[in-house]
Amino acid sequence: MSKQSLPNIETDFSEWYNEVVYQSTLADNAPVRGCIVIRPYGYALWELLQSILDKKIKETGHQNASFPLLIPKSFLEKEAQHVEGFSPELAVVTHAGGKELEEPLVIRPTSETIIHAMFAKWITSWRDLPLKINQWANVVRWEMRTRPFLRTTEFLWQEGHTAHETAQEAQDEAHCMLNEYIDLIENYLAIPLIRGRKSETEKFAGADTTLTMEGIMQDGKALQLGTSHILSQSFAHAFGISFQGRNGTVEYPFLTSWGVTTRLIGAVVMMHGDQKGLVMPPRIAPIQVVIIPIFKGDADKEKILNVVKSIELELKEAGIRVFLDSSTHETPGAKFYAWELKGVPVRLEVGPRDVANGCVIVADRLGLAKETIAQTQILEAVLGRLDIVHKKITERAQERLKKHFHSSGSLQEFGPILAEYNGAYQTGWCGNLVCEKKFKEYKATVRCLLSEVTFATCCVCNQKSLSDIIVAKAY
Amino acid sequence: MSKQSLPNIETDFSEWYNEVVYQSTLADNAPVRGCIVIRPYGYALWELLQSILDKKIKETGHQNASFPLLIPKSFLEKEAQHVEGFSPELAVVTHAGGKELEEPLVIRPTSETIIHAMFAKWITSWRDLPLKINQWANVVRWEMRTRPFLRTTEFLWQEGHTAHETAQEAQDEAHCMLNEYIDLIENYLAIPLIRGRKSETEKFAGADTTLTMEGIMQDGKALQLGTSHILSQSFAHAFGISFQGRNGTVEYPFLTSWGVTTRLIGAVVMMHGDQKGLVMPPRIAPIQVVIIPIFKGDADKEKILNVVKSIELELKEAGIRVFLDSSTHETPGAKFYAWELKGVPVRLEVGPRDVANGCVIVADRLGLAKETIAQTQILEAVLGRLDIVHKKITERAQERLKKHFHSSGSLQEFGPILAEYNGAYQTGWCGNLVCEKKFKEYKATVRCLLSEVTFATCCVCNQKSLSDIIVAKAY
């Protein structure tokens, strides 16, 4: 177990992030450019996120399936915007089975093209609609700069792909899934979000509309946490997806796609971590409670072990994810340190005196007041403390968002401050590309367009504003 | 819904297999060489298998993780036997991000090499052992002849990789996981197995010992259903995995790996299907019960719907996977046909007279006697019928195995019969490659070596037999 201390989170957030990811054993650098290994602790977090989201996906009427990893290059070229957007990032298989391939295959950067090719086969009548499919998969995008979880060459995600009879249904679908994502992220990951839609520049390659949700991290930079797209009709035409409508006419379906990735793990780290390491939101913590027996001598050992084992069993049976750290080659202090680094929300300490008194000490990752609780009350106390930690980190995250959130009508005014101190700025925008490019001078971008109009004029050119936007630097 | 009838299962098993896979919507051909799309019905089956096996994997102390899809080609070359075995099947990425790569990357055909590279980093002391990791992943092997589920260019699987202090522990691990597989396949998939170990010719590229389990399909051909390997020590040396032992000396761990794949879906089809289509084993059936309301006229419709909906709810709440087929554009007969094709074990029929009598008709996929059951007894009746179907298909599979299983001491005697009628032959073998090659003349191979010795002499050369073996044709 590493005893290295972490870089300063205030002054060196970026280095702190990388180090905490590695030291807490969420992930490790892989010997492949831009790739990570998601280690068991990180993967357990991903599995918990998956199980919550997968339930939501199924409850909203979607079915999981599995489509090929490899896509003929010509498929990507069928939709002009799509291929333009993804071409620079493709990994290409040119040889297989000892021979050069007649047509190169690309590793899916996303699966619209192969899934739409199948949709064309499966959809023939309005009765086949809506078709609502989801896939949990790995994708590869050859990114220039990579960071663990936030941007890696290969990443894990789910990608939903749906086809609908009407434009309205497709729109409802895209919003429905964004809402499911927001529920997951706000209520389980305890990360408050800003929702909106992407500008033409920032939207998905081939979408009419990209809905997005953005989190503002501890350092005031934005992190896009998931997107939901209403696709251009050109996909249906490019892949020949048509159906006989209710009136017997040939029609083209309206398509959506939406996804979230292992980036969510990075968001949890960046949102809640502190100088001691990770802080795991209780509802998705792989280990919610760690029990640390404190042996003073061999005489007490068996007695203490009996007590902690029975507590472990009781909590486990109540569905709590608990770990009993009964190893003897480390001091309690070293264990505290290690489990704080991993961000376990609640810690139980049981020493000889506690056993004698029938008590347990309840502590938590936030350092709130320790309590001495009767063993008979332990389940209630643990559930209560997990709830308190969830509430506290939610409040803290909301306060941070408030702290980083500003309003300003003039880029000249807020641009230099944003460039130096980060933060999210609500302002007005005319919708013009020329003005959008100005944000780049401050290393910022339009994170999203909001549905409201509170600024009458564009913060750059002073022309009429189309809608409010959020401007921020982004990961 | 397709109304095509299936090829004759007796005379044209191979064509029957392909057609039933496609028509039942388990899978579809993908527009990529040798790849399939696993459709929602097939994927639901895979998810059920996964959930059972994943629980077993975790209960036996393994943790899930995720390793990169792409592996530097040089990694595969570190273990001589391994690269020799997999070279002909590799898919190679030569270009990415618009440039030619300095070192080509292969898409993992299996992950020993990349995982062992990480093990070398993670294992430093005997305290780090055992290290027991599992990964659910996709792999790519460029096979010559492909068949849906049985052998596809890309397939889904889990691959376990473990490291141990002693040879005995590694051996115990490999046997333990084989036993878990056998429990899954025999008790949930209702497929009886023959267990043994592979010959030198057939074992995993880089293994000292490959344990295997073989199913004998309806047509008398063997299907390898999963393997568990005790790896050669050369992997630890090749990847520099060493640790400080209990006495302070530098030691090399003993490694295992083991996996099962989406081939299990193909085995379910081949083992239990009949002329009408799939027969899903009740314990893993994506839909265990289908409810078909039989409307005679509009007057009864609402009454019947109320009854079937309440039955659906009751079964769902009891944890049964139930589907209510209340569509009105198809006749009950067409629905029966379609759900038989999909192999749903139990069917409930509810017509106007049944509603009037407070009854439900219980039928099943095997065509056992229909029963008229009081609505109040429906849960019990359904559970009972699911159990009966499970028992019946288990017995039927065991009888088939018995029918296909023969013993013979002379290849000359059984070879021609095997070549013509398939079947599995227990016999003796000297262990010599020359004799092993003789089986090829009858299109058969050594499926496995058994632990018993009942034949004193080799069925080819009449020299002393090392152990009994199973000889059969294989998929």
Domains of chain A and CATH, by start = 13-272 (3.30.930.10), 282-396 (3.40.50.800), 405-472 (3.30.110.30)
Q: Which residues of A touch B91 (CB under 8 A)?
A: 70, 93, 95-97, 105
Do you know the residue count of chain B?
Answer: 475
Task: Write the burial class of residue B361 (CB in 10 Å: 0-12 exposed, 13-18 middle, 19+ buried).
Answer: middle
Tell me if the bond preceding A253 is cis, omega within 30° of 0: no
Residues of chain B scoring pLDDT < 50? 1-2
Name the residue facing A64 among B35, B47, B138 (closest C-beta).
B47
When CB atoms are compared, the residue of B90, B97, B98 closest to A96 is B90
Rounded Cα distance, B134 and A280, in Å? 23
CA distance B247 to B236: 20
Judged on CB neighbours under 10 Å (0-12, 13-18, 19+), B298 is exposed
Residue-wise pLDDT for B431-449, tens only, equals: 999 999 999 999 999 999 9
Hey, of B47, B48, B54, B93, which one would you mutate to test binding to chain A, going by the most A CBs within 10 A of its CB? Answer: B93
- Encode pLDDT of A82-128 as tens digits: 888 899 999 999 999 999 999 999 999 999 999 999 999 999 999 99
pLDDT of residue A144: 87
Query: Residue A452: helix, strand or coil by DSSP?
Result: coil
Q: Are B70 and A35 an interchain contact pair (Cβ–Cβ within 8 Å)?
A: yes
The model carries a pTM of 0.97
What is the pLDDT, as a whole number, of residue B3? 56
Q: Pick A140's closest partner by Cβ from B28, B66, B69.
A: B69
Q: Output the furthest CA–CA distance in chain A (Å, rounded).
A: 85
Paired residues of B406 in beta bridges = B425
| Contact: B90, A75; criterion CB under 8 Å | no
Per-residue b/e over A68-81, b at no fewer than 16 CB within 10 Å?
A: bbbbbbebbebbee
Cβ pair B289, B348 in contact under 8 A: yes
For helices A40-59 and A167-187, the axis angle rounded to 10 degrees is 140
For B133, nearest residue in chain A (alpha carbons): A40
Mean pLDDT, rounded, of chain A: 96
Antiparallel, parallel or unpaired: β A467-472 and A424-429 = antiparallel
CB B430 within 8 A of CB B464: yes
Residue found by looking up tokens 């296909």 in the block: B404
Locate B338 and state its tokens: 């379609």
Who's near B469: CB < 8 A, 6+ residues apart? B196, B199, B426, B427, B428, B429, B446, B447, B448, B449, B450
Residue with tokens 């227990």: B426
Q: Half-sphere exposure of B10 toward its Cβ, with a 13 Å CA cutoff?
A: 0
One-letter amino acid of B308: V
Query: Looking at residue A81, what is its pLDDT?
Result: 87
**Is the omega angle on the peptide bond into residue B40 within 30 degrees of 0, that is, cis?**
no
| Gap between the Cα atoms of B428 and B455, Å rounded | 5
User: Could you say which of A37, A65, A90 has the minimum Cβ distance to residue B39?
Assistant: A65
Strand partners, A464: A457
The angle subtended at Cα B336 by Cα B335 and Cα B339, nearest 5°, is: 80
CA distances in angstroms from A90 to A104, A223, B69, B95, listed in the order given: 11, 23, 14, 8
Which tokens hold the place of B301?
A: 């419709």
Q: What distance in Å separates residue B432's CA from the closest CA in chain A?
A: 30
CB atoms within 10 A of CB B309: 14
Q: Where are the alpha helices (H) located in A296-331, listed in sequence order?
A: 298-317
Q: Which residues of B touch A38 (CB under 8 A)?
A: 65-66
Q: State both tokens at B413.
A: 């005697």
**Chain B residues near residue A72 by CB distance under 8 angstroms:** 31-32
For A95, the closest of B30, B92, B133 (CB atoms) is B92
Inter-chain CB proximity A72 and B31 less than 8 Å: yes
DSSP B392-415: HHHHHHHHHHHHHEEE-S-HHHHH
The pair phi, psi for residue A264, each rounded to 5°, is -55, -35
Inform me whether the pLDDT recorded for A235 exceeds 60: yes
Minimal Cβ distance to A47: which of B37, B64, B75: B64
- What amino acid is encoded at A326 in this protein? S
Q: How far apart are CA A82 and CA A237, in angstroms?
A: 14
Residue A2, pLDDT > 60, answer no
pLDDT of residue B1: 44
In angstroms, the Cα distances linking A86 to A82, A108, A437, B301, B329 are: 6, 10, 21, 52, 43
> Taken in order A419, A424, A428, A429, is the CA torsion positive or negative?
positive
CB contact under 8 A, B31 and A117: yes
Tens digits of residue pLDDT in A338-363? 999 999 999 999 999 999 999 999 99
Nearest to A384 by CA among A284, A288, A290: A288
- Contact (CB<8Å) A39/B140: no
Rounded CA-CA distance A107/A86 in Å is 11
Amino acid (1-letter code) at residue A116: H
Q: What is the dihedral of CA A205, A206, A208, A212, to 10 degrees?
A: -40
Shortest Cα–Cα distance, B143 to chain A (Å) = 7
Check if the beta carbon of residue A229 is closer than 8 Å to that of residue A210.
Answer: yes
**Who among B31, B40, B67 is closest to A63 (CB)?**
B40
Mean pLDDT confidence for A147-166: 98
Question: Are the C-beta atoms of A404 and A216 separated by less than 8 Å?
Answer: yes
Distance from CA of B198 to the nearest CA of A (A): 25
Using an 8 Å Cβ cutoff, are B218 and B13 in contact?
yes
Interface with A, mutate which of B66, B90, B131, B144 (most A CBs under 10 A): B66
pLDDT band per the 50, 70, 90 thresholds, residue A3: low
Closest Cα of chain A to B404: distance in Å? 35
Rg (CA), chain B: 25
- What's the pLDDT at A1? 44
Put simply, the answer to whether B142 touches A97 (Cβ < 8 Å) is yes
- Cβ distance B70 to A28 less than 8 Å, yes or no, reads no
Under a CB-based contact definition with an 8 Å cutoff, are residues B398 and B392 in contact? Answer: no
**Does the beta-carbon distance from A68 to B30 stay under 8 Å?**
yes
Spatial separation of the C-alpha atoms in residues B278 and A433, rounded to whole Å: 57
